[in-house]
Amino acid sequence: MSREALLLPIWELGPKKRYIYTWTCCNCGRSRINIMVEACPDCCTPRCAYCQTTKVQVRQSAFQYAHETQA
């Protein structure tokens, strides 16, 4: 973190990065399936070691960030 960033108030640093995890079915290719879903909604194949898992950054609006920091 830069020295200037350390001198700024916390509410001026911007929103904290948030992530979710999704996976892609290796059988049918359906993507963006939430990691909490155990089987593919299209082909009903359970997630396995061959299904690719992806970390996705979730955008947070400035309004949501301001609301959370004031609470």
- For residue 23, being part of any structural domain is answered with yes
Identify whether the C-beta of residue 47 lies closer than 8 Å to the C-beta of residue 38.
yes
- For residue 53, being part of any structural domain is answered with yes
- For residue 10, being part of any structural domain is answered with no
pLDDT at 57 over 60: yes
Show the domain range for 39. 15-70
Q: How many domains does the chain have?
A: 1
Identify the H or E element spanning 70: helix 62-70
Confidence of residue 17 (pLDDT cuts 50, 70, 90): confident
Give the pLDDT of residue 7.
72
- For residue 60, being part of any structural domain is answered with yes
Rounded to 5 degrees, φ, ψ at 64 are -60, -45
- For residue 2, being part of any structural domain is answered with no
Residue 62 and residue 70: Cα distance in Å, rounded?
12
- For residue 65, being part of any structural domain is answered with yes
